[in-house]
Structure 1
Amino acid sequence: MTTKNLLIELLVEELPPKSLNKLGMHFAESLMNGLKQQHLLQSDAVMTVFATPRRLAAHITQVLAQASDQLATTKLMPVSVGLDSEGRATPALVKKLSSVGVEAFVVSQLGRVKEGKTETLFLERKVPGIALAAGLQKALDDAIADLPIPKVMSYQLADGWNSVHFIRPAHGLVALHGSEIVPVSVLGLTSSKVTQGHRFEASIHPIIIRDTESYAQQLETEGAVIASFVERRARIMQQLSTAAAKENLQLIQDEALLDEVTALVEHPNVLVGKFPPEFLSVPQECLILTMKANQKYFPLLDNEGRLVNTFLIVANICPQDAHLVVDGNERVVRSRLADAKFFFEQDLKHTLAARIPGLDKVVYHHQLGTQGLRIEYVRAIAHEIGQWLGGNLLAEQAGQAAQLAKADLLTGMVGEFPELQGVMGRYYALHEGLGDTIAYAIEDHYKPRFAGDALPRNLVGVCVALADKLETLINLFGIGQVPTGDKDPFALRRHALGVVRILIEKDLPLELNQLLKQAIGIVKDERIAQLWMQRTATAKSSVQAEEAGKGLTHRNARSQISAEVSDQLIEFIYDRLASNLREQGYSAQEVDAVLALHPQHLNDIPRRLAAVRTFATMPEAESLAAANKRVSNILKKAAEAIPAEVVPERLQAPAERTLYQALIEIKDKIEEAFLEKDYTIALQILAELKAPIDTFFDHVMVNTDDALLRSNRLALLKALQQAMNRVADISRLAS
C-alpha cells in the first residue's frame, strides 16, 4: 500500500515562551501516537517537530491514505448464557450481536475459548480500515485536548456566535498528505495549504505550501521563519558565540534563557549593546539577573569572569541599519540598571543588624510565628553545632552568621529579586566589614539549593546551613506538614538531602541521632521564645509589639513537638539518603545492606558502600550472605531470650567449638579494622568464617530439645551475626 508524508500546522497567536518546546513535542507525539493506534502509519514512520512562537507543527513520514482492514475479536458472553440446550442462540446473544452491528449470523461461526471453568463465546470479524481524513480528525482532536495547558483562553470565532477554548487564539490550519489537502477541522478552522510567515520580515503574504516536503524551506525563504525549534536554537547559540568571540569576551551559559529566547523569535538576529560603565559598581549578580530576567539579554564576562558593560540582544528582525534597535534596547536596559543601582545604594544605608527587628513583622508560618523568632532557634542550633565542630570561636561565628542570615530579606534588592537572597547578604556584610567568613556563611546557608548545587564554602556556613535545614525539618514535621506523594510545598525532601550531602561530603564527625536530639531540644526550649519576647517587648512600633505577641503564642507549637518526630525524621532522612545513593549508581542491595544498620556517622557511608562492593566480588561472599540470612531467620524465630555471652563449657559438638574459636580469632582483627575505618579489610576477614560456618550448619542442630544447649547455640549465632554485621547487614546481599 502506497504512503505519503503528512504535514499538520496549527497557526496561532504568540504562545507562552517557557512552555513552547514542551507544547511542540507533545502536539507532534500525540498526533503520531493517534495515527499509529489507528494503523495509519508504517512501522518505519519518522516524526519531525516544528515549533515557533506562532505555530505548532509536525511532519510525519510513511502515512497511509487508508488503513488496512483489521481482524477484530469481540468477547460476547458465556456459552451457557448465549446458547440454549439445543445449541441455538438465546435472545441475549442476538441482542448482544445486534449491538455490535451483526444482524445475521450462524452460531457455528462464533468462536469459543476456555476461561477457567467457563467457556465463552467470541466474534471474530474483519473491520474496514479507517480513512486518513477520519483518523487524522480523531488524532488531531485528541492531540489538542491533551496539550499540557494550565490555563486556556476563551475567544469568539469569526461568526460572532460560537466560542472556543485554547491556549491562544488559532488562525490557521494546514493539513497536507503529500500535496493534497486532508479535510479536517479544529477550533473553528478548516484545513488548507495557507499559512503565514514572519509578521514583518516575510517576503510573501500569505504563503501557499506546495507539499509536505517544501514546508520548512518555504517558511524560511518566503516567510523568514526557521520552523524547527532545535535548528533555531542552534543558530542563536552559534550567533551568540560568534558575537562574544568577536568582542573577545565570554558568554554566560544559560540553557533556560536560551530556550526561552528561542521561543520568542522566529528569525533570530544577534546584536551587540552596551550600558554605561558606572553601573558596574552594582554587584554583578544584580546586573546579570536584571538583564536576563527582565530583558532576556545575554550578559558577557571578561577573561577573569568579571561582568563587562557589553551584552547581546537576540532580535526578531533583521533591519539593514540595526542602530535604532540597539539604541532602543540600550535605553531600556539603562532604566532597568538604574533601578538596580538605586535599590543597592539605598540598601547600603542600613546595616544587616539594624534590619533584624523588622523580621519580627515577617510571618514565617502561621503556626510557628515570625522570622524574627525563627532565627533565634536557628542561631542556637548553629551555635551548638559550631561548638561540636570547632569550639568557642566557631560557635560564636556561627551564631553571628545565623543571626544575620535572613536580614537581607528586608532589603530593596531582594524584594525586587528574591533569587538574590543570601547573595545580597554577602555583599552587604562585606560592605560593613564583617569579613569573608561571615559574609560567605550568610550567602551559603541556603546551599545546597538544588541537586548538584555547591555546598557551603566554610565551616561557619556549614553550621548555619545545617541549623537552618534542621530547624525547618523539625518544626514542619512537628506541626504535621510531612511530604506526601509528590506534594512537598516546603521542599522538605530538598532540606533533608541537603543535610545528608553536608554531613557526607564535608566529612563531618557528627552522629545523626545526637544531632537531631540536640536540635529538637533547642527547638522545644521555651526560654528562647521568652528571651526573644523580652527583646521585642521594647519595640516602639505597635505593629512590632503585636507581632511579637503572636510569636510568643506560637512557641507552644514548638514546645509540644512529640517524641515520634525524631523517629519520623530519621526515617525520612535515611529514605532521602537511600534514593540519592541509588541515583549515584549504587545497587539497591548495596544501599540496603549499609543503611539497614542505620549508621550514625553518615560520612562513613561511602567507605562502607565501597567495602560492600568489594566484598561482593569475593568467592565466599554469596555463601556468607546466605549464612547470615539463615542466622537472622533463626534468631528472629527464637521464642526465648538469647544470652549476651556464649558459655564455652557448654559447647559440645566439634563444629560449634570450631566456629566459636574462629570467632575469637577474628574478633580483634575486625574490631581493629573497624576502628581504623578500613571497612574493606573488616569484611574481607569474614572469609575466614566460611568453612566453620558451613560445617556448623551441616553438623549442628541449633533448636535442640536441651534448653541450655539450645540457648548457648543461639548465643553463638548472635555473636556470629554481630561480628558479620559490623560494616553492613550482609544478609541483604543474599540472592
Structure 2
Amino acid sequence: MAELLIELFMEEIPARMQVRAADDFKRLVTDKLAAAGIAFTKAAAHSTPRRLTLVVDGVPTAQADVREEKKGPRVGSPEQALAGFLKSTGLASIDQAEQRDTGKGVFYFAVIEKKGGATVAVLPAIIDAAIRELPWPKSMRWGANEFRWVRPLHSIIALFDGAVVPGALDLGGKTIAYGSATQGHRFLSPGEITVTGFADYQAKLAAAHVVLDREERKRLILDGAQKAALAEGFRLKDDPGLLEEVAGLVEYPVVLTGAIDNKFMDVPAEVLTTSMRTHQRYFALETADGKLAPRFVVVANRTTADGGKAVVAGNERVLRARLSDAKFFWDQDLKVKLEDRLPGLKDITFHKEIGTLHQRVERIEALAVETAKSLDYDAETIQQVRLAARLSKADLTTGVVGEFPEVQGIMGRYVAYHEGLPAPVAEAIADHYKPLGPSDRVPTDKVSVVVALAEKIDTLVQFFRIDEKPTGSRDPFALRRAALGVIRLIVENNLRINLRLPLTFSAIVRPENVSGIDYDYYKKILISLSSSLWSGMKEDEIREVNTAKTIINDLLSFFFDRLKVSLKEKGVRHDLIDAVLALGGEDDLVRLLARVDALAGFVATDDGANLLAAYKRASNILRIEEKKDGIAYDAAVDASLLAQDEEKALADALVTAHKHAAPLIEAEDFTGAMAAFAAVRAPVDAFFEKVTVNADDKDLRANRLRLLSQIRGTLGLIADLSKIEG
C-alpha cells in the first residue's frame, strides 16, 4: 500500500473559501479513485491561506484484476452474429467461449480477465480532472492563461509512493508540471522545499514556519488570545466565527495586544466591536462584568525583531481612523430624534414593486397594533407597540448604520434610550429583526414580540403578493427564515393567536394605500374570507378578497411546510404532523403542536397502536364498500339494528368516548382525550373478532358500516389517523 500526496500552492485564498475547497478537492479525488476501482484506507484534507493539501493513505500500487462475463448469441446462431460477438469481446475464435444452458436455451459466454494496471498510470488524469472540476464561488484568469482559478496557481505537488506522478496541468498559456517542491512562509522562510511524503512535508513546513493543520492554528490563536487577555486583566469575548476566519488568514499565528483610545469608549460597544471585527479582524476583550474593555487582540502572520511593537502601533493607528469616523457619526446621530428621521424613509425604496421603507413602516405599525389588540394587550402596551413599530426602521438613516449596517436596530435602541423613550420601545427597536436564524435568541418582551411578528409577516405577505416565493434552493429574500422566525416567536412565547388573522390584515393592506387603514373594510374582507358573503361588495373588493385568499392560503401552506421541517429536525414524525394538519382549519400553532405531542404519546402505547390498526381496518372496509355501493355510510347508527352484544358494546363505547373526549378537546386537553379514546380498544377488538360486517341482511350490513364510520369519526376528532404510517 502506498500514499498519495497532493498540494496545490497558490496566492492567498479567501479565508471563507478554504475549508470548503479542501473538502471539495478531497471528495473529487476520492470519488474518482473509487470510480477507477482503486481502494484506500483514509483521506485527509488540509488548508492554509496559500495551499490546499490532500493525503490519501492505503492506496494499492496496482489496480485489482477484473473478471468480466459477457453473454453472446444462442449456440447455432448465424455466422454474422458470432463474428460480431467475437469482435466485441476480443476472442480469436468461438471455441474460446463457454456454452451455458440458461434455461431458455444454450448461449455462448465470453469470460474476460483483465490484469490490473499500475495505479500511477491513472493518477495524472484523476488529479487533472479534480483540479479542473474544483468549484470556486469566484475565479479569475491571470497572464495569458485560459485556465480559471481562485488565485494564481504556482506549483503542484503530486507524489505517489514517494515518487513524482508524471503529468502536468495545462493552463492554456503555460503548464505546471507535477513535482515534489513547495514553499514555506512567505517572509520567515522564503525559498523552495523538496519533500518525499506527507510526514516529511508536514515536518518541513513546520520548520519553515507554516502550521498546516487548521485546528492547530485555531488552538494556537485561541490559547494565545486568552492568555493575552488574562495578562491585561480582561477576558476574551467569545467569537467562533472570527476565530474560523482568522485561522484562514495566517500560516504562522502570532498573537499581539493593542489599545483602544479612551475617547472612543463612549461609542456603543456594538459599533466598536463591529468595526474591529468586520474591518480589521480584531478580537474584542471584556471586563469581568461583560463590558467592552479598551484593548483588542490582533493576530499577525509573522514574528518581528521588535516583538510586534511596530505591528501593534500600525494597527492602533488604523483603528483610530476607523473609530474616529464612528465617533463622528455617533455624535451627529444623537442630535436628531428618531421621529424626525421618519420622512427620510420616503426616499429609500424597499422594493420597486412593494414600495418605500416609509410605506413598509406604516404597514408594520398597523399590523403590530392590530396584533397587540388581538392578544388583549393593555392600552399602555399598545401605545408602546405603536411607537416601537413606527420608529423600528428610523435608524437606517443614521450615519452609524450607513457606515456599519450590522448595527441596524441596535443603533436605534441606543438613540431611543438617549431620548428617554420607554425601555420596551427601545428594546423592541433592536429586537424586531430577531430571530435571525435557528440559533438566534427569540424576543420575549410583549412589545418586541408583536413588532417582530409584524415585521416578518409584512415581509412574507408583500413578497408573496408579487409572486417572489422561494423555489428549490433559491430564496433571495430569506422568506424561509422569516417564516421560521414567525413560528418561533409564536411557539416559544406560547402566543395564542390564530395565524390567519394577522395574515389577513396584512394581505389587505395594499402597497399603494397604506395610510389610514379602513378597519370596517378590513372586517368586511375578513368576513368575506371566512364565509364567502359577497352581497353588496363592489367588483374591486371581490377582486381584493380573491387576491387575499390566494396569499393567505399559500402562506399558511408555506408556514406548515416550515413547521414540518422544523419539527422533523427535532425528531418529530412527519406523519403525525400531517395527521393533525389534515384536519384543516388549525392555524393556532400552540394548539396544533399540543395535538401533535398528544398524538405522538398515544400511538406509542399499546392501546394507541391497536386503535390505529382498528381505525385503518375500519377505514379500508368503508372505502371499499362505499366505492362499490356508490354511497357514504356516514348516517347515524340505528340502535334497533344492533344484533350482537359486541356491536352494541362498541356503539355504547363510541358514544361514551365521544361524550368524554369532545369537551376535553375543546379545553385543549388532548392527552385526556386520547385517554378517553383508549377505552374503546377492547370493544373494537371484540367487534372485529366476533361480528361480520358484510352480513347477508342488507339493513344489518348498512348499519354495521355506519358503525365503522362512527369509529372513524370518533377517533378522528383529534387527527386524521389515516395519515399515520405503519
Match of 1:724 in 2: 715
**2:660 equivalent to 1:660:** no
1:164 corresponds to which of 137, 143, 147? 147
**2:479 equivalent to 1:492:** yes
Any residues of structure 2 matched to 1:294-693 within 5 Å, and which?
Answer: 294-321=279-306, 322-389=308-375, 390-521=377-508, 523-524=509-510, 528-529=514-515, 561-598=547-584, 599-634=586-621, 638=626, 639-640=630-631, 645-649=636-640, 651-693=642-684
Shift of 1:644: 6.2
- Structure 1 115/52 Cα, relative in aligned 2: closer, same or farther at 3 Å? farther
Name the CA distance, whole Å, in 1 between partners of 2:419 and 2:544: 34
- Residues 194-243 of structure 1 show CA distances to partners (whole Å, capped at 9, x for unaligned) of 221111111x622222443211111111x111112222222222212222
Match of 2:529 in 1: none
SS in 2 for 1:10: strand
Shift of 1:446: 1.4
**2:246 equivalent to 1:248:** no
**2:77 equivalent to 1:85:** yes
Q: 242-251 or 329-338: which moved more?
A: 242-251
Would you say the 8 A contact 1:382–1:464 is kept in 2? yes
Shift of 1:366: 2.0
Would you say the 8 A contact 1:625–1:732 is kept in 2? no
Match of 1:54 in 2: 50
SS in 2 for 1:23: helix
Any residues of structure 2 matched to 1:75-114 within 5 Å, and which?
Answer: 79=73, 85-86=77-78, 89-90=81-82, 92-93=84-85, 96-97=88-89, 102=90, 104-110=91-97
Match of 2:528 in 1: none
SS in 2 for 1:248: coil
| Structure 2 gap segments, 5+ residues each | 519-540
Match of 1:229 in 2: 214
Name the CA distance, whole Å, in 2 between partners of 1:149 and 1:111: 52
Name the CA distance, whole Å, in 2 between partners of 1:274 and 1:506: 42
Name the CA distance, whole Å, in 1 between partners of 2:147 and 2:60: 31
Name the CA distance, whole Å, in 2 between partners of 1:119 and 1:239: 77
SS in 2 for 1:164: coil
Q: 338-347 or 609-618: which moved more?
A: 609-618
Match of 2:159 in 1: 176
Would you say the 8 A contact 1:378–1:402 is kept in 2? yes
1:63 corresponds to which of 59, 66, 77? 59
Amino acid of the residue matched to residue 85 of structure 1?
S
Would you say the 8 A contact 1:626–1:734 is kept in 2? no
Name the CA distance, whole Å, in 2 between partners of 1:329 and 1:677: 62
- Residues 602-659 of structure 1 show CA distances to partners (whole Å, capped at 9, x for unaligned) of 1124433332232223222222001222334455563435556545445444333222
Would you say the 8 A contact 1:414–1:421 is kept in 2? yes
Name the CA distance, whole Å, in 1 between partners of 2:500 and 2:318: 55
SS in 2 for 1:431: helix
1:127 corresponds to which of 74, 97, 114? 114
Amino acid of the residue matched to residue 46 of structure 1?
K
Name the CA distance, whole Å, in 1 between partners of 2:216 and 2:666: 59
- Residues 347-376 of structure 1 show CA distances to partners (whole Å, capped at 9, x for unaligned) of 222222122222222222222222222222
Q: 422-431 or 637-646: which moved more?
A: 637-646
Name the CA distance, whole Å, in 2 between partners of 1:372 and 1:418: 18
- Structure 1 621/211 Cα, relative in aligned 2: closer, same or farther at 3 Å? closer
Instruction: Kindly report the root-mean-square deviation, in angstroms, between the aligned alpha carbons of the 2 structures.
Output: 3.1
Shift of 1:70: 2.7
2:252 corresponds to which of 264, 267, 283? 267
Match of 1:14 in 2: 12
Name the CA distance, whole Å, in 1 between partners of 2:698 and 2:65: 77
Q: 225-234 or 696-705: which moved more?
A: 696-705
- Residues 483-512 of structure 1 show CA distances to partners (whole Å, capped at 9, x for unaligned) of 211111222211211121122111111123
Identity among equivalent positions (%) equals: 37
Name the CA distance, whole Å, in 2 between partners of 1:422 and 1:133: 59
Would you say the 8 A contact 1:297–1:311 is kept in 2? yes
SS in 1 for 2:62: coil
Would you say the 8 A contact 2:86–2:92 is kept in 1? no
Name the CA distance, whole Å, in 2 between partners of 1:337 and 1:4: 56
Amino acid of the residue matched to residue 213 of structure 2?
S
Shift of 1:59: 2.1
- Structure 1 559/729 Cα, relative in aligned 2: closer, same or farther at 3 Å? closer
Amino acid of the residue matched to residue 10 of structure 2?
V
Q: 641-650 or 678-687: which moved more?
A: 641-650
Would you say the 8 A contact 1:526–1:559 is kept in 2? no
Match of 2:168 in 1: 185
- Structure 1 88/166 Cα, relative in aligned 2: closer, same or farther at 3 Å? same
SS in 2 for 1:165: coil
- Structure 1 118/286 Cα, relative in aligned 2: closer, same or farther at 3 Å? farther
SS in 1 for 2:435: coil
Name the CA distance, whole Å, in 2 between partners of 1:495 and 1:530: 26
- Residues 564-623 of structure 1 show CA distances to partners (whole Å, capped at 9, x for unaligned) of 222222111111111111101112333333333343321124433332232223222222
Aligned length: 693
Would you say the 8 A contact 1:377–1:528 is kept in 2? yes
Name the CA distance, whole Å, in 2 between partners of 1:401 and 1:117: 83
Shift of 1:529: 4.6
- Structure 1 119/20 Cα, relative in aligned 2: closer, same or farther at 3 Å? farther
Amino acid of the residue matched to residue 726 of structure 1?
L
Q: 268-277 or 657-666: which moved more?
A: 657-666
TM superposition score normalised by structure 1: 0.87
TM superposition score normalised by structure 2: 0.88
